[in-house]
Structure 1
Amino acid sequence: MRSMQGRVVASSGNKTVAVEVTRLAPHPKYKRRVRKKKKFQAHDPDNQFQIGDFVQLEKSRPISKTKTFLAVPLPVKSKKEKKAEGGEEASSSDLGIPLESQQQELQA
């Protein structure tokens, strides 16, 4: 099974976090893609994750009755990778163009 990404929604106990994973699946009748959410219990050995953090879930051996995943921090993408994906437009500071407020300060 491949790893999944999700958001920490609860700190269930010592070394345990609840992670909500959202995926897109086709509706059985209407064939439109709908969001489906599922919560997984994951092992957090260092208690490093807070509510709202995005984590990656790695499959592991069963740790308890409900915990079979290990919570791992998401790898950080570099600016070059983000630009290659086209997800974000280049900001004005990246292009070397001052903002309007900065232009007014330069003229004054």
Structure 2
Amino acid sequence: MRVMVLVKATVDSEQGFVSTPETMEAMQAMGRFNNELEKAGVLIAADGLTPSSRGKRVAFNGADRTVIDGPFPQTSELVAGFWLWEVRDMDEAVAWVKRCPNPMPGPSEIEIRPLYDMAELS
């Protein structure tokens, strides 16, 4: 089963990455966690995203397209980073997330979403 693991954005992450001893320590801890995922054969892809101020959205309405420049409101609904994992089931994904270092200073949230399996849809 493939899952997308989404690290939700925070007010801090929307300010952009600032190199401090604390953030560098957090990055090293996350690097060690990613190494564990890789060794276990779980990790397919992972990366952090820049703040939404550097992004764009394209809104669709029939044939019309409207480009919307960031930053985007409702920080708690934005994504700051992601993993793509191959796991046995959702329980394994949850177990891995529980082992993850806190991805943000202070409270944060990680969402796990299964990818569609086209074989199951047929």
Superposition TM-score, scaled by structure 2 size: 0.20
Higher relative contact order structure (alpha carbons within 8 Å, sequence separation ≥ 6): 2
Superposition TM-score, scaled by structure 1 size: 0.21
Name the structure where helix makes up a greater proportion of residues. Answer: 2
Name the structure where strand makes up a greater proportion of residues. Answer: 1
User: Based on CA coordinates, which of the two structures has the bigger radius of gyration?
Assistant: 1
